[in-house]
Amino acid sequence: MRILIVGQWRWLQYEEAFARGLRDNGVEVTELRLAPYFSGPLGRLQYALPVAGPGAIRAGRAILAAARSARPDFVLFWRPTHVLRRTLLALRRLGIATISYNNDDPFSPGLADQRRWHRRALWRLYRKALPLFDFNFFYRRVNCEEAKANGARHADVLLPYFLPWQERPIALSEADKARFDADVVFVGHFENDGRDRDLLALSAEGLSTRVWGDETWAESALTGSGAVAGPITTVVGEDYAKALCGGRICLCYMSKLNRDGYTRRCFEIPATGRVMLAERTAELGALFEEGAEACFFSSREELVRKARWLIDNPDERRRIAEGGRRRVWADGHDVSSRARRFIAQLGDRTRPEAGAEC
């Protein structure tokens, strides 16, 4: 099987990791990076607010040239915010099947908020192109039915995954411990859903806390509170794994804007051998046995109580963490296993009939 992956190739866990998973399964992968076609001030503006302008047209020509050269069985478009219908039609004429994958929520009700007009505009070209893809994969189940309502002929779920070469138990050096050690760790962005006040409550309980994330935390109640150790900065690669391994407990929150019932961290945290204390959802309850493979909370009071119990009972904490690690490996939540299932979902390489089931 030959697959051409078209995307930004910006973050290690997306196109690059999935390409590695496909190659582990014998797929011949060709890469096409779109960033060069959206360079300069005008290019960056077209990337932020997708239009059928020069950047998208140049990218389309490059995709067709790469397809003619590599002759792939499939072209996989990763989060295709800038794909044009004419490009997909041209690939169809070449006899090449097309696949979209979207880890964001392009149908989120939150996009109706006028303050998020730029996020809504981001999906304009994607929605127009959606009916022309032969296969469409989504991060979350709810997007499948929404995609079909928007004309998609096929829709299925491609769950997130962990990277075995990165998310793994790591013995921290003394210097690493000084930087990463904490009772409770959260890695992720800020949303105004109470997570900042949860962290304040954990700190008030006497638990040392660390947060790793982006500039969105400047809007949180943590700013100036002194409740978390050190500055809140982004961690990637090996430092990301060390940040998780530095916590005796790793918190996991769901994005409310994206309507998440699980997230990538639900697999990454157990893979590092750390106990996960996550917001309780039906989806997580189906993936992990509560109290044996993960811990869940539905309120701030339950969060603080369980965090204190886990800190005071290290043997139980290790037992649950070990159970979670066994579970993510046994159920194939690593990227190579996920890629293997993706290949199977493509079936006999024929295009699905209209109205294919989620």
User: Quick one: pLDDT at residue 353?
Assistant: 52
pTM of the model: 0.91
- The answer to whether position 353 is within a domain reads no
- Rounded to the nearest angstrom, the gap between the alpha carbon of residue 105 and the centroid of all alpha carbons in its chain is 11
Q: Angle at CA 185, nearest 5°, toward 183 and 190? A: 145
Q: Per-residue pLDDT averaged across 193-197, rounded? A: 96
Which domain, by its residues, includes 266? Answer: 174-330
Same domain, 154 and 249: no
User: Quick one: pLDDT at residue 40?
Assistant: 86
CATH no. for residue 304?
3.40.50.2000
Same domain, 72 and 185: no
Helix (H, G, I), strand (E, B) or coil at 30: strand
Number of domains in the chain: 2
pLDDT tens-place string over residues 22-78: 999 999 999 999 989 988 888 888 888 888 888 999 999 999 999 999 999 999 999
Instruction: Return the biggest CA–CA distance within the chain.
Output: 64
Report the run of H or E that residue 125 belongs to, with start and end. Answer: helix 124-129
Which has more pLDDT, 329 or 351? 329
User: Quick one: pLDDT at residue 356?
Assistant: 44
Same domain, 220 and 271: yes
Same domain, 325 and 179: yes
Residue 81 pLDDT exceeds 60:
yes
- The answer to whether position 169 is within a domain reads no
User: Quick one: pLDDT at residue 112?
Assistant: 63
